[in-house]
Amino acid sequence: MATISAPLPGIQVSEEGKLRIGDYLKWSVDHKIIGVQYAVTALFFFIIGGALAMAIRWELLTPALDVAADGTAYNQFFTMHGTVMIFLWIIPMMAGFGNYLVPLMLGAKDMAFPWLNAFAFWLIPPAGVLMILGYFAGQAQAGWTAYPPLSTMFSDGDGQTMWAIAIHLLGASSILGALNFIVTIRNMRPEGMGYFQMPLFVWAMLATSIIIVMATPFLAGGLTLLILDRVAGTAFFNPAQGGDVLLWQNVFWFYSHPAVYIMVLPGFGMLSEVLSVHARKNVFGYRAIALSSMAIALVGFTVWAHHMFTSLTPSLRIPFMVTSMIIAVPTGIKIFSWIGTIWGGKIRFNSAMLFGLGFLSMFVIGGISGVMLAAVPFDLHVHDTYFVVSHFHFVLYGGSVLAIYAGIYHWWPKVTGTLLNESMGKWHFWLTYVSFFFTFFPMHLLGMLGMPRRVAVYAPEFQTLNSIVSFASFVLGISTFILLYNMVYSLIKRKQAGPNPWRALTLEWATSSPPPAHNFHGDPVPYKNPYGYGTEAAYRYLEAQEAELGKSWPNLEEEPARALKPSSSPAGD
Amino acid sequence: MADEQVLEARAEEAAASASVHLDPAMAEGNALTQGLEPEHASSPATMLAHSVPDTTVVFGRVIPANIYVVVFGALAILTIIEVILAEILPESVFFRTPLLVVMSLAKAVLVMLYYMHLKEDNKLFAAAIILPLLIGVVSCMFLLAVPSTGYGPGR
Amino acid sequence: MTEVSLEKSHGHSAADAHAKHEALRVENFKLGWWLYLASEVVLFTVLIATFVVFRIDHPEVVKEVHEKAGVLLVALNTFILLTSSWAMVMGLREIQRGNVSGLVRWIGLTAVMGTIFLLLQWVEYNTLGAEGITLQSGQFGMRFYAPTAFHGVHVLIGVIWAVWVMWRARNGKYSSTNYLGVEVFGLYWHFVDVVWIVLFTLIYLV
Ligand code: HEM
Ligand SMILES: [Cu+2]
């Protein structure tokens, strides 16, 4: 039935179907391997970016210059930190989840273009290496936003050019990956799964991919001009020779505002899965969540100039303030839908769920400070201060990264077949959650008190708050290693998870863990409503699945819901 | 039941996407091709072949030439008119620019509809190309609205 | 009505599956390719926009260059590209009818026209360069060369691709049932043509 796809060429799976580490180090067109490759590469860069964050915070422990040799060195720290975190950690990590999960959730055997998929991944390591090699050529130091003239006249090293080329490659990778997702989602759904029966993570990936295809080329165009300015002697961004300096800001934010949704929408998707599964409850407002992603994707193209309130013609400020506030509405819809989802559920407080709830709470703070920043009068005051740094860490760390953590705890059993240690997971959560809050919340205050961002030396009156922030950030840094240790530990311990440890209804669980090379044993039949938990029918479905695939740990003795709800309604209705 | 409708809709969608090439009116000319590819000959994939009839209907009139030639003619004529207009109309005529832009867009649309087969192909492809055009145009307008060279002379 | 079933449904023959698989492959490729073109639209928009904004801010500079350079050469070039596009679609039509040598001939014409276009563009660049309009000459130069040269690179890639399609056609890779490769190349080539149609008006005429 369902999807027909080509037999996968070139995958060598040993007799037992077990994958060896070597399989992950070479070219492969299997989406599961590629997904893991993305994730591991991204984690590697997360560690690099994290180390740079520690350097930044160490520098800011005292008002004087102590770690960085000079201001330039500090500029390089935060430039690399920001770029690595965004382009080499969050975006590839989300692509990794997408690669692993989308075909499985659709009951497909692979992505639409397996070869292209591999190609898109293999653009990333060279780009990352290129960016880091810039260190030997005068590292980029113009911030991740690379505004000219900082990135043109005031960056002589070749590092900035290498940086631009690396971002170009990463952008290309991301576009190729995204069009693969769109085609896969549109053409490879199984029979019986319309758009409104898709898991919400798939919806989120669809919206993300549309944004990537439409927005990333703006960045590519801007980078092309930047590279020309740097190497070919043009002056697109130099007003002295007839260029214009705002062009970059416009083009950059045409991309980069939509890009914040590229970074967070997949997280939203993961959150919908995690909350529903572990609250054992139907998602509240399925259609609202699905369509608000699309709304965000479109409205996201109309708000970019809120990053430019201070450089913009004053008459355009109000229109962009209005659109920026409008875009908070679909996000708010999601938040309330998630609260509705967990409301009255039989919540399992395991690590995945804890991180999910952590996301929910912290992202709300980031969202609210975002609306504050969208208000022109307020933004004019806190623009380029630590308030902004605080805001985007609440959405990026509190949002995307916590979502990624939730996703890791949730899908690790599927990917590896083993379980992560729960008590370590809880330690990880609580340490991260608390130290995260104390790292980034005081930055709001610092910003409102007037501490500018991107400075290595600051006024002594900010010392106390900065020390609190720095100490908390060291704890935050260390807490990450609990997760890494947990991963290694679980791979050594090999506590078997079984096919469906969370008793989830989406299709990625309807196969063994890890899934065989062709993903499913036969053609999987999707349950009508991927979130129809707590109903008799869902219970029977899971029972039948267990009979077919074998038992799972923790072998939850779940009661079938007594009240026979009208369970057959598909998710969309 | 709702889910049955969904199933049906899905089946229709699948059928629609499969039948993109199956327009029976276009299937003549298949005779030429029978047996070229033995392993396909037995499968319905043979039906995927289509070719274009040698007459074209434009505004209800049958034109005895194939559509590609007709479109090429139209493109050529439009281009000539465009160049001539650009040369003779003085800069000051207010409709000069809009007229030229509209003509070039008309040409672009002709190529996309007939040469790129948007006319008969999946409408999704059209959507895929129109969306970025809209976004692009909107952002261009914005660039025009901002005094992007700064606020100094020249503006 | 059964609520739950893990049974497979039956009744698909292998040939059926093959045809469906083939149709799916075609659909996948075309959608993917259109999406790629969509992203190219945005990329070209950025480059063309730099020119358009300049044109509106400084009409006098653009006018001066237009008067110096004249429109004849580019008009000719436009015709050449239009012809190549037409040849392309005729080639597709031939292969849809199963005529491989027809395909090769028409695509050959496409490639030749593309090459002539590039040569004429080179001539044009040289004349402009002689007038002192270069990439580094600021103002007009950079905004003119960036989009047109970027388009030229696309033509160049297209010419190489055309030769490759011809080579594959000669090796019997295409038939009346299997011409996806030609079709996808066609989409690319027409797209490059469309970009030029717009570029031509915006940069040389307006
Ligand atoms: C342990 C975790 C982290 C700490 C302690 C931290 C700390 C900081 C600090 C203090 C700055 C401001 C530097 C300055 O303006 O002088 C900064 C900038 C930034 N951070 Fe982080 N960060 C962390 C994690 C992350 C993550 C996970 C992301 C992204 C997903 C991220 C993205 C950024 C970006 C984009 C910038 C702006 C860089 C620039 O100004 O160009 N950070 N970070
Ligand atoms: Cu924004």
Domains of chain C: 3-205 (1.20.120.80)
CA A438 to chain centre: 22
Beta bridge partners of A452: A385
Q: For residue A295, what are the CA distances in angstroms to A336, A362, A391?
A: 16, 22, 22
- C145-183 tens-digit pLDDT: 999 999 999 999 999 999 999 999 999 899 888 889 999
For strands B61-63 and B56-58, give the pairing.
antiparallel
d(CA A77, CA B103) in angstroms, rounded, equals 52
- Angle, nearest 10°, between helix axes A31-59 and A124-133? 20
For a mutational test of ligand 1's pocket, the pick from A58, A139, A393, A470, i.e. the residue with the most ligand atoms closer than 8 A to its C-beta, is A393
Amino acid code (one letter) for A287 = R
User: What pLDDT was estimated at residue A289?
Assistant: 94
List residues, by chain if needed, whose CB lies under 5 Å from ion ligand 2. A 257
Closest by CA position to B52, among listed A137, C91, A86: C91
pLDDT at B9: 44
On whether the CB atoms of residues A431 and A477 are closer than 8 A, the answer is no
Please, which residues bridge with residue C178 across strands? C175
Could you tell me the two tokens for A469? 């922030």
Any bridge partners for residue A418, and if so which?
A496
For helices A31-59 and A463-493, angle between their N-to-C axes, nearest 10 degrees: 150
Q: What is the pTM of this model?
A: 0.87
Return the structure tokens found at B32: 């030429």
Question: Rounded CA gap, A322 and A207, in Å?
Answer: 23
Q: Are the Cβ atoms of B17 and C88 closer than 8 angstroms?
A: no
Residues of C in contact with A183 (CB under 8 A): 28, 31-32, 35
Segment holding C110, helix H or strand E: helix C100-130
- Predicted confidence at residue B132, as pLDDT, reads 87
Q: With an 8 Å Cβ cutoff, is A2 touching chain B?
A: no
Task: Take residue A27 and report the two structure tokens written for it.
Answer: 């070219």
Expressed in angstroms and rounded, the spacing between residue A256 Cα and the centre of ligand 2 is: 7
The conformation of residue C8, written as its DSSP 8-state character, comes to P
Contacts of C205 in chain B (CB under 8 A): 82-83, 86, 100, 104
Question: In angstroms, what separates the C-alpha of A94 from chain B's closest C-alpha?
Answer: 23
CA C194 – CA A115 distance, rounded (Å):
29
Specify if A3 maps to a domain: no
Residue A411 CA to ligand 1 centre (angstroms): 27
CA distance A356 to C2: 35
> Which H/E stretch holds residue B56?
strand B56-58
| pLDDT score, position A106 | 93
Burial A163-196 (b: 16+ CB within 10 A, else e): bbbbbbbbbbbbbbbbbbbbbbbbbbbbbbbbbb
Q: Would you give the distance in Å from CA A221 to the centre of its chain? A: 24
pLDDT, average across residues B76-82:
93
The CB of A260 under 6 Å from ligand 1? The reply is no
Q: In this structure, is residue A123 part of a structural domain? A: yes
Asked, for residue A116, whether it belongs to a domain, the answer is: yes
Quick one: C69 exposed, middle or buried, by C-beta within 10 A (0-12, 13-18, 19+)?
middle
- Residues A56, A76: Cα–Cα separation, whole Å: 10
Picking from C6, C46, C136, the nearest residue to A234 by CB comes out as C136
Please report which helix (H) or strand (E) contains residue B61, including its range.
strand B61-63
Residue B147: predicted pLDDT: 58
For ligand 1, mutation pick of A167, A389, A446, A451 (most atoms within 8 Å of CB): A389
Contact (Cβ atoms closer than 8 angstroms) between residue A221 and residue A252: no
Kindly state whether residue A215 falls inside one of the protein's structural domains: yes
CA C203 to chain centre: 18
* CA-closest residue to ligand 1 atom 8: A53
Q: Report whether A3 contacts A109 (CB < 8 A).
A: yes
Interface test with chain B among C175, C201, C202, by most B beta carbons within 10 Å = C201
Tokens of C61: 């500079």
Alpha helices, H only, A84-195:
91-105, 114-122, 124-133, 159-187
In a domain, A19, yes or no: no
pLDDT of residue B1: 36
pLDDT, average across residues C90-101: 89
Alpha carbons A267 and A296: distance in angstroms, whole number: 14
**Residue C155: its H or E element:** helix C140-170
CB–CB contact B83 C79 (8 Å): no
Nearest Cα to A526, choosing from B11, C6, B4, B1? C6
Terminal CA-CA length for chain C: 66
Q: Taking CB atoms and an 8 Å limit, are A541 and C4 in contact across chains?
A: yes
Q: Is A49 domain-assigned?
A: yes
Which residues from chain A sit within 8 angstroms of residue C138, using beta carbons? 234-235, 241-243
Contact criterion met (CB below 8 Å) for A506 and A199: yes
3-class secondary structure, A156: coil
- Residue that is written with structure tokens 């409709």 in the block: B95
Tokens 């997360």, located at residue: A46
CA distance A326 to A306: 12
* Domain CATH for A319: 1.20.210.10
Closest of A395, A378, A387, A393 to residue A327, by C-alpha: A395
User: Residue A60 has which token pair?
Assistant: 């800011």
B150 with A187: Cβ contact below 8 A: no
| Residue contact B143–A247, C-beta within 8 A | yes
pLDDT in tens, B8-53: 444 444 444 433 333 333 333 333 333 333 333 333 333 344 445 5
A489 Cβ contact list (under 8 Å, min separation 6):
A421, A424
Beta bridge partners of A385: A452
**Tokens 């729960």 correspond to what residue?**
A422
Contact C188, C161 (CB under 8 A): yes
Q: Is A243 in the pocket of ligand 1 (CB under 6 A)?
A: no
Q: How far is CA B113 from CA B62, C190, C192, in A?
A: 19, 11, 15
In a domain, residue A24? The reply is no
Contact A476 CB / ligand 1 (< 6 Å)? yes
- Say if residue A463 is exposed, middle or buried (CB neighbours under 10 Å; 0-12, 13-18, 19+): middle
How many structural domains is chain A composed of?
1
Q: How far apart are CA A130 and CA A333, in angstroms?
A: 41
Cα separation, B75 vs B73, whole angstroms = 5
Residue with tokens 């914040």: A260
> Mind listing the pLDDT tens digit of every residue in chain A (573 residues)?
333 333 333 333 444 456 678 788 889 999 999 999 999 999 999 999 999 999 999 999 999 998 888 889 999 999 999 999 999 999 999 999 999 999 999 999 899 999 999 999 999 999 999 999 999 888 899 999 999 989 998 888 899 999 999 999 999 999 999 999 999 999 998 888 889 999 999 999 999 999 999 999 999 999 999 999 999 989 999 888 888 888 899 899 999 999 999 999 999 999 999 999 999 889 999 999 999 999 999 899 889 989 999 888 888 889 899 999 999 999 999 999 999 999 888 888 999 999 999 999 999 999 999 999 999 999 999 999 999 999 999 999 999 999 999 999 999 999 998 999 999 999 999 999 999 999 999 999 999 999 999 999 999 999 999 999 999 999 999 999 999 999 999 999 888 888 888 889 999 999 988 898 889 888 888 888 889 888 888 888 888 888 888 888 765 555 555 444 544 444 443
Residue A547 lies in a domain: yes
CA distance A343 to A352: 17
Dist. CA A16–CA A304, nearest whole Å: 52
Ligand 1 pocket, residue A202 CB under 6 Å:
no
Give the tokens for residue C88. Answer: 């392309």
Tokens 């620019």 sit on residue: B97
Query: A345: domain range?
Result: 30-572
Which ligand 1 atom sits nearest the alpha carbon of residue A443? Answer: 10
Find chain C residues with C-beta within 8 A of B136's C-beta: 41-42, 45, 49
Ligand that lies nearest to the alpha carbon of residue A387, given by its number in the listed order: 1
Query: Do residues A457 and A65 touch, judged by C-beta distance below 8 A?
Result: yes
Is residue C197 pLDDT above 70, yes or no? yes
Measured between alpha carbons, how far is C117 from C79 in angstroms, rounded to an integer? 9
